[in-house]
Structure 1
Amino acid sequence: MHMAVRALLAADLEQASRVCMAAFMGAVAESLPPLGIETFARIASVEGFRARMVHDNVMLAYAQEDRLIGIAELKEGRHVAMLFVDPAAQQQGVGKALMAAMIEQARVEVLTVSASLSSVPAYERYGFTCTGEAAESSGLRYQPMEMRVAPGA
C-alpha cells in the first residue's frame, strides 16, 4: 500500500475538511462550548483552507493511495496551526510523519503550537513542552506549547 506525505492540493480540500472535522468531533468537541465548535468548523471548512492556502502556510496531506488520512498546516514556518489524523488511522505513525515533515519546513529555532487540551500528551511525545497557562479564544481552549528544533534543519 502506497502512503506518503505530500503537499495538500486544492482538489484535496473536501477530504481534508472531513478528516479535520472527524478527528475534532471525536477528540475535542465534547470539551468545548458551541462557539468553539462553530469557530473550528469555520477554520476547517473548505473555504477556510482555501483562504489560508494563499498565505505563507505549508499545508501537508498524508495520503493512503488516493485517500487522505492526515492533514497538517505550518504557519509562516514557525507555528503548527493544524495536525489531524483520521480517527480510524490514529496510532499508526501518521501524525509523527506529518510532524517530521513540518519540522523539515521550519524556518525558526522554536516551533509553537496552541494544542487542544486533549492533544497535549501527543504533542509531548513529539517533543513539545507546555509554556504558560491554558487559554481560550473564540470558544477554543488550548495549551500553548513549543519545541526547539535545530536551526536550518
Structure 2
Amino acid sequence: MTVRALVAADLEQASRVCMAAFMGAVADSLTPLGIQTFSRIASVEGFRTRMAQDNLMLACEQEGRIVGIAELKEGRHVAMLFVDPAVQQRGVGKALMAAMIEQARVEVLTVSASLSSVPAYERYGFVCTADPAESSGLRYQPMEMRLTAPV
C-alpha cells in the first residue's frame, strides 16, 4: 500500500472510488439534491478544478490500483476521505488520514463528516463540535481534531 499525490491521470479512477464508496454508504441518507451535489464534487472535472487550488489530494494505491482518495483543503480541512468498499477496514483510510495529518498547517484539523462516517472519524481522534447541518442537500457533522497542544 502506497500513499502518493494524486495526478491528472488518476482522476477517472479517483472519481469511481469516491462514487462507489458514497453510493454504498452515504447516498441512501440524502435527497436527490445531495446526491447531485456530491456527484459534481466527485466528478473528474470537480477534481481537476480543485487540483488547481490549495488542496492536497492523495491516492492510496495497492497493486497499481487506486483504492482510496483523500483531500486536505488549505492544510486545515479534510474535504474528502473515501475508500473502495472492497478494501474497507484494512488500513487504507488510516494511512490516508496519517498522510493528511503530516501535511496539516494548523493546530486544529476540521471535517464536515457525512453522518454515516462519524464513527470512523471518532476512531481517528475527531470529536463533534456542533449539531449536524445541511448544505446543498449534503448532511454533515462538524468535527475537529486537535493536532498540537494549545500555545
Q: 1:5: which partner in 2?
A: 3
1:115 counterpart = 2:126: no
TM-score (norm 1): 0.96
Q: 1:93: which partner in 2?
A: 91
Among all aligned residue pairs of Structure 1 and Structure 2, give the percentage whose two residues are the same amino acid. Answer: 84
Partners in 2 of 1:108 and 1:31 — Cα distance? 32
Residue type at the aligned position of 1:15: Q
Residue type at the aligned position of 2:27: A
Residue type at the aligned position of 1:90: Q
Partners in 1 of 2:139 and 2:45 — Cα distance? 23
Q: 1:16: which partner in 2?
A: 14
Q: 2:144: which partner in 1?
A: 146
Q: 2:65: which partner in 1?
A: 67
Q: 1:79: which partner in 2?
A: 77
SS of the equivalent of 2:23 reads helix
User: Paired residue for 2:50, among 32, 47, 52?
Assistant: 52
- Mapping of residues 129-144 of structure 1, within 5 Å: 129-144=127-142
User: Paired residue for 1:104, among 92, 102, 105?
Assistant: 102
SS of the equivalent of 2:49 reads helix
Partners in 1 of 2:27 and 2:63 — Cα distance? 29
User: Paired residue for 1:126, among 105, 124, 127?
Assistant: 124
User: Paired residue for 1:36, among 34, 45, 65?
Assistant: 34
What RMSD over aligned residues (CA atoms) do the two structures have, in Å?
0.7
Partners in 2 of 1:89 and 1:78 — Cα distance? 27
Deviation at 1:80, TM superposition (A): 0.0
Partners in 2 of 1:98 and 1:27 — Cα distance? 19
Deviation at 1:150, TM superposition (A): 2.6
Partners in 2 of 1:29 and 1:102 — Cα distance? 25
Deviation at 1:30, TM superposition (A): 0.1
| Contiguous gaps of at least 5 residues in structure 2 | none
Partners in 1 of 2:63 and 2:86 — Cα distance? 15
Partners in 2 of 1:85 and 1:43 — Cα distance? 16
